[in-house]
Protein backbone atom coordinates (compact mmCIF):
# COMPACT_ATOMS: atom_id res chain seq x y z
CA UNK A 1 0.00 0.00 0.00
CA UNK A 2 1.43 3.35 -1.10
CA UNK A 3 0.63 6.42 0.98
CA UNK A 4 0.63 9.81 -0.75
CA UNK A 5 0.15 13.08 1.09
CA UNK A 6 -1.62 15.97 -0.65
CA UNK A 7 -0.19 19.18 0.76
CA UNK A 8 -0.63 22.83 -0.13
CA UNK A 9 0.73 26.17 1.09
CA UNK A 10 -1.63 26.24 4.09
CA UNK A 11 -1.22 22.58 5.06
CA UNK A 12 2.30 21.54 4.01
CA UNK A 13 3.74 18.15 4.80
CA UNK A 14 5.10 17.95 8.38
CA UNK A 15 7.90 15.38 8.38
CA UNK A 16 8.49 15.32 12.16
CA UNK A 17 4.80 14.77 12.90
CA UNK A 18 4.55 11.83 10.53
CA UNK A 19 7.67 10.18 11.93
CA UNK A 20 6.98 10.72 15.64
CA UNK A 21 3.18 10.59 15.75
CA UNK A 22 1.48 9.28 12.67
CA UNK A 23 3.61 6.24 11.81
CA UNK A 24 3.48 4.85 15.39
CA UNK A 25 -0.30 5.36 15.33
CA UNK A 26 -0.56 3.43 12.06
CA UNK A 27 1.50 0.54 13.46
CA UNK A 28 -0.59 0.43 16.62
CA UNK A 29 -3.93 0.65 14.79
CA UNK A 30 -3.30 -1.72 11.89
CA UNK A 31 -0.74 -4.06 13.44
CA UNK A 32 -3.37 -6.48 14.79
CA UNK A 33 -4.89 -6.76 11.31
CA UNK A 34 -1.72 -7.98 9.62
CA UNK A 35 0.42 -4.90 9.06
CA UNK A 36 3.97 -6.23 8.82
CA UNK A 37 5.98 -3.03 8.46
CA UNK A 38 5.76 0.66 7.64
CA UNK A 39 8.46 2.42 5.66
CA UNK A 40 8.83 6.14 5.12
CA UNK A 41 10.62 8.18 2.49
CA UNK A 42 10.49 11.95 2.68
CA UNK A 43 11.78 13.91 -0.33
CA UNK A 44 13.13 17.41 0.11
CA UNK A 45 10.89 20.30 -0.85
CA UNK A 46 8.39 22.82 0.42
CA UNK A 47 5.87 20.15 1.48
CA UNK A 48 3.26 20.99 -1.15
CA UNK A 49 1.81 18.88 -3.93
CA UNK A 50 1.48 15.11 -4.03
CA UNK A 51 4.24 13.60 -1.90
CA UNK A 52 4.87 9.87 -1.48
CA UNK A 53 5.54 9.53 2.24
CA UNK A 54 5.29 5.86 3.10
CA UNK A 55 4.66 2.24 2.19
CA UNK A 56 2.66 -0.21 4.29
CA UNK A 57 3.40 -3.92 3.91
CA UNK A 58 0.58 -6.27 4.90
CA UNK A 59 0.58 -10.02 5.34
CA UNK A 60 -1.72 -10.43 2.35
CA UNK A 61 -4.47 -8.62 0.47
CA UNK A 62 -7.17 -9.79 2.88
CA UNK A 63 -5.25 -8.32 5.82
CA UNK A 64 -5.00 -4.98 4.05
CA UNK A 65 -8.74 -4.93 3.31
CA UNK A 66 -9.51 -5.80 6.93
CA UNK A 67 -7.29 -2.98 8.19
CA UNK A 68 -8.81 -0.38 5.86
CA UNK A 69 -12.35 -1.40 6.87
CA UNK A 70 -11.59 -1.56 10.60
CA UNK A 71 -12.84 0.96 13.19
CA UNK A 72 -9.21 1.89 13.89
CA UNK A 73 -8.97 3.47 10.45
CA UNK A 74 -11.14 6.32 11.71
CA UNK A 75 -8.48 7.14 14.33
CA UNK A 76 -5.79 7.13 11.66
CA UNK A 77 -7.77 9.51 9.47
CA UNK A 78 -8.63 11.70 12.47
CA UNK A 79 -4.94 12.18 13.10
CA UNK A 80 -4.54 13.20 9.48
CA UNK A 81 -7.23 15.83 10.06
CA UNK A 82 -5.05 17.25 12.83
CA UNK A 83 -2.30 17.73 10.29
CA UNK A 84 -4.74 19.40 7.89
CA UNK A 85 -6.69 21.35 10.50
CA UNK A 86 -6.99 24.34 8.17
CA UNK A 87 -8.92 22.24 5.66
CA UNK A 88 -10.32 19.29 7.62
CA UNK A 89 -12.80 18.49 4.86
CA UNK A 90 -9.99 17.65 2.47
CA UNK A 91 -8.65 14.10 2.57
CA UNK A 92 -4.90 14.11 3.00
CA UNK A 93 -4.40 10.52 1.94
CA UNK A 94 -4.67 8.98 -1.48
CA UNK A 95 -4.21 5.29 -0.89
CA UNK A 96 -3.56 3.00 -3.83
CA UNK A 97 -3.19 -0.75 -3.51
CA UNK A 98 -1.90 -3.17 -6.13
CA UNK A 99 -2.99 -6.79 -6.28
CA UNK A 100 -0.20 -9.33 -6.06
CA UNK A 101 0.49 -10.97 -9.40
CA UNK A 102 -1.45 -8.41 -11.44
CA UNK A 103 0.53 -6.83 -14.31
CA UNK A 104 0.95 -3.06 -13.99
CA UNK A 105 -1.05 -0.85 -16.30
CA UNK A 106 2.10 0.84 -17.60
CA UNK A 107 3.74 -2.43 -18.73
CA UNK A 108 3.71 -1.24 -22.35
CA UNK A 109 5.72 1.83 -21.33
CA UNK A 110 8.34 -0.35 -19.64
CA UNK A 111 8.68 -2.43 -22.83
CA UNK A 112 9.05 0.65 -25.04
CA UNK A 113 11.65 2.21 -22.74
CA UNK A 114 13.57 -1.07 -22.75
CA UNK A 115 13.55 -1.13 -26.56
CA UNK A 116 14.75 2.48 -26.61
CA UNK A 117 17.71 1.70 -24.38
CA UNK A 118 18.46 -1.50 -26.30
CA UNK A 119 18.48 0.40 -29.59
CA UNK A 120 20.78 3.03 -28.13
CA UNK A 121 23.19 0.32 -27.08
CA UNK A 122 23.18 -1.13 -30.60
CA UNK A 123 23.59 2.21 -32.36
CA UNK A 124 26.41 3.74 -30.31
CA UNK A 125 29.20 1.25 -31.22
CA UNK A 126 28.26 1.50 -34.90
CA UNK A 127 28.36 5.28 -34.74
CA UNK A 128 31.80 5.26 -33.15
CA UNK A 129 33.12 2.80 -35.75
CA UNK A 130 31.61 4.75 -38.66
CA UNK A 131 33.25 8.02 -37.62
CA UNK A 132 36.64 6.77 -36.44
CA UNK A 133 36.94 4.51 -39.49
CA UNK A 134 36.95 7.54 -41.79
CA UNK A 135 40.06 9.21 -40.40
CA UNK A 136 43.74 8.44 -40.42
CA UNK A 137 44.97 6.37 -37.47
CA UNK A 138 47.04 9.40 -36.47
CA UNK A 139 43.85 11.33 -35.67
CA UNK A 140 41.77 8.46 -34.26
CA UNK A 141 42.48 9.35 -30.62
CA UNK A 142 41.51 12.98 -31.10
CA UNK A 143 38.35 12.05 -33.01
CA UNK A 144 37.36 9.60 -30.25
CA UNK A 145 37.74 12.39 -27.69
CA UNK A 146 35.66 14.76 -29.82
CA UNK A 147 32.91 12.15 -30.15
CA UNK A 148 32.84 11.46 -26.41
CA UNK A 149 32.72 15.19 -25.60
CA UNK A 150 29.94 15.70 -28.14
CA UNK A 151 27.89 12.87 -26.64
CA UNK A 152 28.27 14.29 -23.13
CA UNK A 153 27.40 17.83 -24.23
CA UNK A 154 24.39 16.65 -26.23
CA UNK A 155 23.13 14.60 -23.28
CA UNK A 156 23.31 17.61 -20.96
CA UNK A 157 21.65 19.85 -23.56
CA UNK A 158 18.85 17.36 -24.20
CA UNK A 159 18.10 17.07 -20.48
CA UNK A 160 17.91 20.85 -20.19
CA UNK A 161 15.74 21.34 -23.29
CA UNK A 162 13.38 18.39 -22.85
CA UNK A 163 13.18 18.94 -19.10
CA UNK A 164 12.35 22.59 -19.72
CA UNK A 165 9.57 21.61 -22.12
CA UNK A 166 8.17 19.12 -19.62
CA UNK A 167 8.14 21.47 -16.62
CA UNK A 168 6.80 24.35 -18.69
CA UNK A 169 3.79 22.26 -19.72
CA UNK A 170 3.23 20.29 -16.49
CA UNK A 171 2.09 23.36 -14.52
CA UNK A 172 0.36 22.40 -11.25
CA UNK A 173 1.99 19.30 -9.83
CA UNK A 174 -1.21 17.60 -8.66
CA UNK A 175 -3.00 17.93 -12.05
CA UNK A 176 -2.69 14.42 -13.45
CA UNK A 177 -4.10 15.34 -16.87
CA UNK A 178 -1.68 18.20 -17.41
CA UNK A 179 1.19 16.08 -16.12
CA UNK A 180 0.36 13.32 -18.62
CA UNK A 181 0.09 15.86 -21.45
CA UNK A 182 3.53 17.26 -20.63
CA UNK A 183 4.98 13.74 -20.53
CA UNK A 184 3.52 12.90 -23.95
CA UNK A 185 4.86 16.13 -25.49
CA UNK A 186 8.32 15.44 -24.03
CA UNK A 187 8.26 11.94 -25.53
CA UNK A 188 7.27 13.37 -28.92
CA UNK A 189 10.21 15.80 -28.75
CA UNK A 190 12.52 12.88 -28.00
CA UNK A 191 11.04 10.86 -30.87
CA UNK A 192 11.49 13.77 -33.30
CA UNK A 193 15.12 14.18 -32.19
CA UNK A 194 15.75 10.47 -32.71
CA UNK A 195 14.22 10.63 -36.20
CA UNK A 196 16.38 13.60 -37.19
CA UNK A 197 19.46 11.82 -35.87
CA UNK A 198 18.59 8.66 -37.80
CA UNK A 199 18.19 10.65 -41.04
CA UNK A 200 21.53 12.40 -40.54
CA UNK A 201 23.25 9.12 -39.74
CA UNK A 202 21.81 7.49 -42.85
CA UNK A 203 23.02 10.40 -44.99
CA UNK A 204 26.54 10.16 -43.59
CA UNK A 205 26.63 6.39 -44.01
CA UNK A 206 25.82 6.69 -47.73
CA UNK A 207 28.77 9.01 -48.40
CA UNK A 208 31.88 7.31 -49.77
CA UNK A 209 34.61 7.16 -47.15
CA UNK A 210 38.05 8.53 -47.89
CA UNK A 211 41.03 6.22 -47.60
CA UNK A 212 42.23 6.77 -44.00
CA UNK A 213 45.79 5.90 -45.01
CA UNK A 214 45.89 8.82 -47.47
CA UNK A 215 44.42 11.41 -45.08
CA UNK A 216 47.21 13.60 -43.81
CA UNK A 217 44.96 16.30 -42.36
CA UNK A 218 41.55 16.44 -40.73
CA UNK A 219 40.27 18.52 -43.65
CA UNK A 220 40.84 15.51 -45.91
CA UNK A 221 38.31 13.45 -43.96
CA UNK A 222 34.98 12.98 -45.73
CA UNK A 223 32.27 12.92 -43.05
* Predicted confidence (pLDDT) per residue in 69-88, tens digit: 888 777 776 545 333 333 33
Instruction: Taking residues 195-201, report their average pLDDT.
Output: 83
Q: Where are the chain's structural domains?
A: 2-96, 107-220
Residue 184 has pLDDT above 60, yes or no: yes
Residue 38 has pLDDT above 50, yes or no: yes
**Has domain 2-96 been given CATH number 3.30.70?**
yes
Task: Name the band, by pLDDT with cuts 50, 70 and 90, for residue 137.
Answer: confident
- Closest to 214 in 3D by CA, of 131, 136, 130: 136
**pLDDT value of position 87:** 32
CA distance 23 to 95: 15
Residue 100 has pLDDT above 60, yes or no: no
Whether the predicted model's global pTM rises above the 0.75 cut: no
Amino acid sequence: MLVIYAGDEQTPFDRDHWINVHFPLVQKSWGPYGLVSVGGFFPQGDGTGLIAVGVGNFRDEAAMEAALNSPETAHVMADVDIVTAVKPQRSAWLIGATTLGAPPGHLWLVVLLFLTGFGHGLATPGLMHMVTGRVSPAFSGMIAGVIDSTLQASAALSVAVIGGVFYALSGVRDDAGQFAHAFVVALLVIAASQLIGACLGRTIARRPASDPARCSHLNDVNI
